[in-house]
Structure 1
Amino acid sequence: MPLRAKTTKTAVRAARTCGGGCARRAACTPAPAAEGVVDTGAPALRWSVGRSRPRHDRIDSTARLAPVREAGQGDAGTGGAAGRPARPTLKQVAVRAGVSTSTASLAFSGDARVLAATRDRVLAAAAELGYAGPDPLARSLRRGRSRVVGVVVGDRLGYAFADPLAVVQLDALAEEVGALGAGLLLIGGVEDDPARLAVVEQAPLDAVVFATCGGDDDPALDLLLRRRVPVVGVEGPYRDGVHLVDLDNRGAARQVAGHLADLGHAAAAVVALPWGPHRRRGWLEGPRRGLRGYNDAWERLAGTEDVLRAAGGPPLRTWEAAANSREEGEVAARALLCDDGGAPLPAGRRPTAVVAQSDLLAVGVVQAARALGLQVPADLSVTGYDGVETPWLGEDRLTTVRQPAAARGREAGRMVATLLAGGVPAPVHLPVELVVGSTSASPPR
């Protein structure tokens, strides 16, 4: 139904003729400014009468409109459910402050046209009456925005917050989104979890960020694209409609493998990040290895294989971790360095280097190797990926790939801002850097 402006009798009678020769009714007649409101002269909204739009279809920003009733609120003096006191209303606040309901509403929304003294009077009246403000749901419906940005993480939230890289990234993302007056809704769990999909399908979301390498086949992504929710991905998903903050995982893995090859390593092994949404722990081989799972794990393994195969080494033994954690790194190290009975393998039967696809996994490998009586790097070189702080290693510094954790979140937040402003953000490619530490050296002879 067309929006109709409520005008005063004086305004209706004051029909004039504009320079173009058409009749200007209330739509072209300035109405007196509401109490305590600065008249900026800027039109506040478009309107139409009947089925056709008049030639002059704007009303003055200070015209008095019929106040919108807040969801769940009645008129002053109406009671709530039986046995409960009535909830204070915006109309009651306006009466107490001596202003119109529309002015009180503008005061709560932070509208710059409301004079500071008037706003203070409205807020003081609200405090006296115990009025907490307009209903957030009703406000979001009027604005067409929920001020909520969803963040999809590929792990249970407990694992996500145990990852220093993820924490720094989410902190930077929250700062950028907070500057927009919005907040974050974290969405975890496995991809086909019905509860997770229900949130994605039903929650009022202005945009969604896949913060930890979302899978290309994630059903949540299909739901979001069908809803036309703007989507930003950090290292994936690689799908049409997803705006990407990316980095060269394959190239970075080649740098690490090249460093090990230059040191003389040929018998290396890999501890891979989870290969896909249904986590498992064990050797990555057979049909599962042929699948393209999470993009970061696949690209890093491909880059490692590119170099070490060319160096003439044996096929890479690859262990898939069930999560990105130090504990999973320890489990992987025992599988790579011990026989089936748990006894350490002799030097000729174990790898001389372990390429871990994250720093947390690498720390677990180092700790397990030391527990088995091996020296790092004299007996075993270990590399990681991320460039996070590793206090568990004492004075040792991990050989790793440093990626800009804060920039991952910051750039994703800026993309969200561009999308919500109606723009199309350009893809972002972040740099990575090989950092040689004290956990890599030439293999034992």
Structure 2
Amino acid sequence: MSSTDAPRRATIADVAREAGVATSTASVVFSGKAKVAAATRDRVLSAAAELGYAGPDPRAASLRRGRSGIVAVVLEGHLRTAFLDPVTTAMMDGLTDGLADLSSGILLMRDEAGDDAAALANAPVDAVVLIGCSGRARASLEIVRARGLPVVVIEGEAGEGIPRITLDNAAASATIARHVRDLGHRDVALVTLPLDSDRERAPVTDARLAAATVDVTVERLTGTREVFPDAPAVSASGSFIDEGVRVGRLLLADPAARPTAVLAQSDLLAVGVIRAAEELGLRVPDDLSVAGFDGIAVDGISDVTLTTSVQPAVEKGRAAGEQVARMLRGERGVTQHFTCRFRAGTTTAPPANR
């Protein structure tokens, strides 16, 4: 063997030979499926330690089961920005917890056409989790269904027979809007998440809304407009603080047309609106009330507490992982619904002219 070659990985047969026992006996020691005499067990473990054998190769076990030991997670948009959103990070933490019993690895993929779609069609995975099911993600869903793989969708319409993890987006948004209305606000503006995969920052028109493909955005807007049906809205290009600043500047630039409250579809966007207001010398909530959605911990908003709807992001991810585990055990996956908790913070108050 040359100096550049990796040493051969010790096998269970090597351990058995070193310990002077049958291969099946050594295998039982590591599987724990039957009792072995203490002396025999000690000889096997001692031989394993001597040879550097840590246990069966999980990849081999997966292959014997006809599985890869990998679950694909398809995210919307660019992977480099996906984890800038604390909600995504929390969901992934929960998903990992839910998959713990499977000892599965996670393969991150994006919902793009072309090479990425081909990759999903051929990826050696046991199951797929789609975070959102909008636009291109629906094409990913069709690829997965054609392969016959178990699939779970977190927040998105998936069609009949696909287990989903859903959230009361419309009801929670309506609750925030009623809170602001009850404070006396009538001149309200909205900042939405992207409407589609184009992620255009622009006013939300009837035509754009009719063509929208992001279910979460539409659901939250529907809930808000139950209370403020005529409120103008601008779609952001993503859930980022900097994007909230940009949209906030658009909404607050003209003092004559300035709203008394802004309702944003994410906490990060809401923080951006607050920063835009501060740039203009506006005080929150004295001059402008601002509310968000998500209930994440956000740095950089001094000593205020954001009025928001707190969603169970970790629990959503965990539920998705548990449904994947159920289906890989041959059980039927089920849809689970989660609800948000309204939190009145210090960023909303009665309008100054009330």
In the alignment, which of 123, 142, 151 is matched to residue 73 of structure 2? 151
In the alignment, which of 33, 56, 66 is matched to residue 112 of structure 1? 33
Pairwise CA RMSD: 2.6
Task: Give the counterpart letter for 1:225 in structure 2.
Answer: R
Which residue does 1:245 correspond to in 2? 165
Matched, 1:407 2:315: yes
In the alignment, which of 188, 191, 206 is matched to residue 112 of structure 2? 191
Which residue does 1:169 correspond to in 2? 91
Which residue does 1:214 correspond to in 2? 133
Contact 1:376/1:440, CA 8 A, preserved across alignment: yes
Which residue does 2:121 correspond to in 1? 201
In the alignment, which of 248, 252, 259 is matched to residue 351 of structure 1? 259
Contact 1:275/1:293, CA 8 A, preserved across alignment: yes
Which residue does 1:103 correspond to in 2? 25
Gaps spanning 5+ residues in structure 2: where? none
- State the secondary structure of the residue aligned to 1:391: coil
Instruction: Map 1:186-335 to 2 at 5 A.
Output: 186-187=108-109, 189-192=110-113, 194=115, 196-210=116-130, 212-215=131-134, 218=137, 219-285=139-205, 287-309=207-229, 315-335=230-250
Shift of 1:291: 1.4
Shift of 1:162: 2.1
Given the two structures, how large is their TM-score scaled by the length of structure 1? Answer: 0.72
Task: Give the counterpart letter for 2:61 in structure 1.
Answer: R
Contact 1:377/1:440, CA 8 A, preserved across alignment: yes
Shift of 1:264: 2.5
Contact 1:252/1:303, CA 8 A, preserved across alignment: yes
Contact 1:214/1:236, CA 8 A, preserved across alignment: yes
Shift of 1:198: 3.4
Q: Which moved more, 1:122-131 or 1:234-243?
A: 122-131
Instruction: Map 1:13-32 to 2 at 5 A.
Output: none
Higher relative contact order (CA 8 A, sep 6+): 2
Distance of 2:108 and 2:27 partners within structure 1: 31
Contact 1:177/1:417, CA 8 A, preserved across alignment: yes
Gaps spanning 5+ residues in structure 1: where? 1-78, 310-314, 339-344
Shift of 1:255: 1.2
Distance of 2:6 and 2:73 partners within structure 1: 38
Which residue does 2:334 correspond to in 1? 426
Cα 1:277–1:133, aligned 2, differ >3 Å: closer, same or farther? farther
Determine what percentage of the aligned residue pairs are the same residue.
43
Cα 1:392–1:87, aligned 2, differ >3 Å: closer, same or farther? closer
Distance of 2:167 and 2:9 partners within structure 1: 53
Which residue does 1:443 correspond to in 2? 351
Given the two structures, how large is their TM-score scaled by the length of structure 2? Answer: 0.89
Cα 1:121–1:237, aligned 2, differ >3 Å: closer, same or farther? farther
Matched, 1:395 2:315: no
Distance of 2:97 and 2:161 partners within structure 1: 24
Shift of 1:413: 2.1
Residues paired across the two proteins, number: 351
Contact 2:111/2:140, CA 8 A, preserved across alignment: no
Which residue does 1:122 correspond to in 2? 44
Shift of 1:299: 0.5
Larger Rg: 1
Cα 1:125–1:388, aligned 2, differ >3 Å: closer, same or farther? same
In the alignment, which of 134, 154, 179 is matched to residue 101 of structure 2? 179
Distance of 1:270 and 1:121 partners within structure 2: 70
Higher helix share: 2
Contact 1:216/1:238, CA 8 A, preserved across alignment: no
Alignment deviations for residues 257-313 of structure 1 (CA, whole Å, 9 cap, x no partner): 12222222222221111222233333333633221321111101111122112xxxx
Cα 1:121–1:208, aligned 2, differ >3 Å: closer, same or farther? farther
